Structure 1
Amino acid sequence: METPTEFDNQSYQNINVQEVLSCKVKKLREQYSERYSKSIHVLTAVDYSIDGQSEERLRQAKTNYAGERIILIPYNLGDFHWIGVIIKFKVDEQIELAEFINPVKESNFIPDKLQRKFRNVFPSTVLRSRVSQIYGDRQYSAFLTIKNLLKAVKESEFAEIKSSNMNLSHIQVTDDRQRMNCLFEDQSLN
């Protein structure tokens, strides 16, 4: 029986992105609990063709949770095309980071529409594009969206740790970089 964490070429298009992403976030937190002080929430995937669903998820991100947190929202644009949104909130509820990730090369996705929806809920914040591991085929966009959102979470937390520990010795910083490199070298979603 196939589980959400097992992939093969036939299942890339038919995976439950929210379920797999939630499972991977849970596993990441268990493996590196000392590194993840913020709560991480994976919201229900947005079907981009349904009016109001995008704004509804963004309002949930804003009002259903409190404190420092990271919100991940998968978006199904249709035709096996997935993108992801990451929003990082500070303690004071201000947005520190808001980015979308589109892993499909030569995509016809128009980010202006998503930006307008985002500004309806967060008028003073710009949703920026994040560089992703681009793959030429939509059939892998669900897999790559999950992978890129996880990478964004990891980078966000490691950047915070690094900036809060700027007084570390050269050897300690090198050790942190080696650990970071080991983590990022993991090419699978395991």
Structure 2
Amino acid sequence: MNMPYDAHNDALADVPDEALLTLFASGDEAAARALTVRLLPRVLAQAVRMLGERAEADDVAQEALLRLWKIAPQWRRGEAQVSTWLYRVTANLCTDRLRKRARSAPLEAAPEPADESASAAQQMQSRSRAEALNAALAQLPERQREAVVLRHIEGLGNPQIAQMMNISAEAVESLTARGKRALTAILSGRRDELGFSDD
């Protein structure tokens, strides 16, 4: 007898990510659906923040989840959290796309959907800030950019970033500090233009 998806999904709500991945590897499609519902919004949000574009972020999120499904049968329990592994894969995929974008057209950015509550001037300023930040991030060394995005845009803690990047928490602190100084230097001449106050 087939259990309705919603009921089965409720039954899987408290099952840890790693256990769901193991169930999927054994052929449980409901476990894959439950894990997708749980992880996809986080992965998509991370990709949107790193790339600044929804369509590309959708592609990255799908690719990251496909890679998770492919490695499910070989997953070694206890070595890493599923979410941490997925964050790292997503960050790497985004970094690859940012590199390609920087090589082809570093300042080119897709227009963002209009925010009805913001004035045209506010929308232009927000878009200018996003473009300036993306361009500045693209100039950072890869490891600094990854650390800055994960810490200050994704809001992850240093210990989690350290695990994702296979470095110490002190090294994360150093990378983010150097990255922030570099971004400040890159953007310093554009503070008035971008509407930043001295904070």
Q: TM-score range by the shorter chain?
A: 0.3 to 0.5
Report the structure number with the largest CA radius of gyration: 2
TM-score normalised per structure 2: 0.33
Greater helix share, 1 or 2? 2
TM-score normalised per structure 1: 0.34
Q: 1 or 2 for the larger relative contact order (CA 8 Å, sep ≥6)?
A: 1
Greater strand share, 1 or 2? 1
